[in-house]
Amino acid sequence: MDNDLPLSHEDVAEIAAILEKSGYRELDLSTRRFHLRIAKSDVAGESLTQEWQWAGAAGEVAVQPTSAAVDPNAICSPLPGTFYHAPQPGAPAFAAPGDTVGPETVIGIVETMKLMNPVHAGRSGTIAEIVVPDGTLVAKGQPLFRLA
Amino acid sequence: MIRKLFVANRGEIALRVIRTAQKMGIATVLGASEADAASLPARMADDVAIVGPGPSAQSYLSVQRVVNAAVRSGCDAVHPGYGFLSENAAFASAVLAAGMRFVGPDIATLDGMGDKLAARALAVEAGLPVLPGGAAATRADVHTRAAQTGYPLLLKAVSGGGGKGMRRVDRAEDLDSALDMAQAEAQAAFGNAAVYVERFVAMGRHVEVQLLGDGANAIHLGTRDCSIQRRFQKLVEEAPAPAMPLAAREAVEQAAVRLARHLSYRGAGTAEFLVDATDFSFYFLELNARIQVEHPVTEAITGVDLVEQQLLVASGKPLSLTQAMVRPVGHAIEVRINAEDPDADFRPSPGRATRAAWPAGEGVRVDTHISTGGEVPPFYDSLMGKLIVHGQTREQAVERLNKALASLHIEGLPTTTPLHRRIVSDPRFIAGGVDTGFLNGLAQ
């Protein structure tokens, strides 16, 4: 870690302005800590771009867990996040085994990026099982409920 | 003067605070969660203290863990950024009790403004107009209050901010389910489920005023218009508010300063108003006692580093700026680039940016913590970065924004960039002065 940030946004804007007026297409700057490319675009109507890459940050892309064979009776999470059974701690759960649900019935919520997203049953049926415990971090497409 | 600053936040705002602190010769310690240990702000800070695991309730929202980490790392001040604990009076008190400075207003102000209902009352005291509505402690109270204000109405988190815990309700039969969701969001985001009721104004503009105060004196740094919103999340912000007569702008600016003086406000703050899009009459909404996401548009037109002003005031210095010294130049526009999928109803889309090429050029500023290979964890909000353009005129700013958005390329996860490209080419946006219903009329 260093005492000083490499370039301010004013610096980048200034380098971009110099590059724009020059005959050069792009500028590449590599140090031990970062790689910066400021480049002109070939496409009319586009401005220059700045692309930063930090040492050690170019790691492998996280593999999305996929449920191999999804149970046809499963209701899956529409997005990654934390799955909750009830609207708030201590409140009754949205749905319990034995409950009859319709496509629009809210049966849980998934909190992603601080937003509460309702989980709809998506079809009619009877809840057989809540597969995932309250407050669990779930992947997109992970089964949450099983219908009878 | 502050010697060593604890940054109790993450993402682009953590990086933003670190930049100014380092420019001022102040050492920085980032309080990061385990999920953010390899983030760009963690690399840039002089030191990193882990405050807990990924979920914010156990890290960024834990008063005890954050204060302990700040004390252990020998910091003499804490900058809370925005969101998380930034307007939490208990947190600010704990910071002061531990012998550190809190970069924000006095506890009394946080107490008054963190509670949006108390804020309404204080604004009324200062002579500012407010919308019909008010407190609703129980479900029955919410129904009673709703019957008074009528529909459509808004449920708003008492400890709210950033649109979290806010729900528009159009029909009485939807009130109960909307209340459940609003309370759950409010609980998750602020640790307080309480909500209140306010009349919803359809043809309104969201106009806010940037304030700076030192406890004795207060000035404004002009208006920002944040009318383009989706689910109460601001998407586009500009300064000054476009297509608004100078006299109308001055009226809200003066009202904001009146409130700041009434509160003996200390630090940077923002007074938010709902402005009638046709006759420019206005209502006070809330005062955000912190730095705002959209502060860079004000910085662009005034040349004032707002984080520097925050740190100076927190050090005990009187404001060195006077109202006459603030001379805004030109027009600035900011767009928020969020990790959200425009093809799936803007669902949050955490993941890794396999490539992040941001725009560059004259009048272009990018505040982001996401570079190529950067990770957007699922625990926090979806903001990846802010693109800010500045021009001599609004026309030039719009033109620069158009070009900049054309050259913005983020790969590996979907972003709101395509939405912004549609906004910037919409004739209503090009003309300026749209109301909060703008997005509903946007061409697909």
Which residue is it, tokens 């969701």?
B181
Q: What is the pLDDT of residue A69?
A: 62
B211 or A13, higher pLDDT? B211
Taking a contact as any Cβ pair under 8 Å apart, which residues of chain B between 27 and 46 contact chain A?
Answer: 38, 40, 43-46
- In this prediction, residues A59-73 reach a mean pLDDT of 56
In a domain, A62, yes or no: no
Query: What pLDDT score was predicted for residue B115?
Result: 83
Q: For chain A, how many structural domains are there in total?
A: 2
> Same domain for A85 and A143?
yes
Enclosing domain of residue A34: 9-54
Question: Per CATH, is B4-103 categorized as 3.40.50.20?
Answer: yes
Residue A61 lies in a domain: no
Mean pLDDT of A73-98: 89
Please tell me whether residues A110 and A142 are part of one structural domain.
yes
* Alpha-carbon distance B275 to nearest alpha carbon in chain A (angstroms): 27
Cα–Cα distance between B196 and B134 in angstroms, integer?
6
* Whether residue A87 is found in the same domain as residue A137: yes
Cα separation, B166 vs A12, whole angstroms: 38
Q: Tell me which chain B residues have a C-beta less than 8 angstroms from the C-beta of A89.
A: 187
State the CATH number of the domain containing residue A100: 2.40.50.100
Instruction: Give yes or no: residues A81 and A30 share one domain.
Output: no
The interface predicted TM-score of the complex, written ipTM, equals 0.85
Question: Which member of B189, B371, B409 has the closest CB to residue A54?
Answer: B371
In a domain, A1, yes or no: no
Q: What is the pLDDT along chain B (444 residues), one digit of tens a residue?
A: 999 999 999 999 999 999 999 999 999 999 999 999 999 999 999 999 999 999 898 999 999 999 999 999 999 999 999 999 999 999 999 999 999 999 999 999 998 887 888 889 999 999 999 999 988 989 999 999 999 999 999 999 988 776 788 999 999 999 999 999 999 888 887 778 899 999 998 789 999 999 999 999 999 999 999 999 988 889 999 999 999 999 999 999 999 999 999 999 999 999 999 999 989 999 999 999 999 999 999 999 999 999 999 999 999 999 999 999 999 999 999 999 999 998 888 888 888 999 999 999 999 999 999 999 999 998 998 999 999 999 999 999 999 999 999 999 999 999 999 999 999 999 999 999 999 999 988 876
Residues A31 and A81 grouped into a single domain:
no
Domain assignment of residue A97, yes or no: yes
pTM: 0.87
Based on the number of CB atoms within 10 Å of its own CB, is B100 exposed (0-12), middle (13-18) or buried (19 or more)?
Answer: buried
Alpha-carbon distance A81 to nearest alpha carbon in chain B (angstroms): 6
Q: What is the pLDDT of residue B314?
A: 98
Summarize the confidence of residues A27-51 as an average pLDDT: 88
Highest mean pLDDT, choosing among A41-55, A113-127, B414-428: B414-428
Chain B contact for A136, CB < 8 A? no
Q: Where are the domains of chain B?
A: 4-103, 132-199, 204-441
Answer yes or no: do B360 and A56 touch at CB < 8 A: no
Contacting A residues, span 80-119, partner chain B, CB-CB under 8 Å:
80-82, 84, 87-89, 91, 106, 109, 111-118
Q: What is the CATH number of domain B204-441?
A: 3.30.470.20
A140 found inside a domain: yes
Fold of B132-199: Dna Ligase; domain 1 (3.30.1490)
Do A78 and A143 lie in one domain? The reply is yes
Does residue A29 sit within a domain?
yes
Give the mutation candidate from A4, A8, A38, A50 for the B interface (greatest B CB count, under 10 A): A50
Instruction: Judge: A47–B187 Cβ closer than 8 Å, yes or no.
Output: no
Mean pLDDT calculated for residue range A45-72 = 68
**Contact call for B184 and A16, based on CB within 8 A:** no
Co-location of A81 and A143 in the same domain = yes
Same domain? For A13 and A47 the reply is yes
Contact residues on chain B for A77, CB-CB shorter than 8 A? none
Domain assignment present for A14: yes
A1 — pLDDT class (breaks 50, 70, 90): very low
pLDDT of A39 > 90? The answer is yes
Residue A23 and residue A79 in one domain: no
Question: Which residue of B176, B185, B336, B343 to mutate against A (max A Cβ within 10 Å)?
Answer: B185
pLDDT higher than 80, residue A59: no
User: Do the domain assignments include residue A64?
Assistant: no
Taking only residues 166 to 195 of chain B, the set having a beta carbon closer than 8 angstroms to any beta carbon of chain A reads 177, 180-181, 183-185, 187-189, 193
- B290 catalytic? Reply is yes
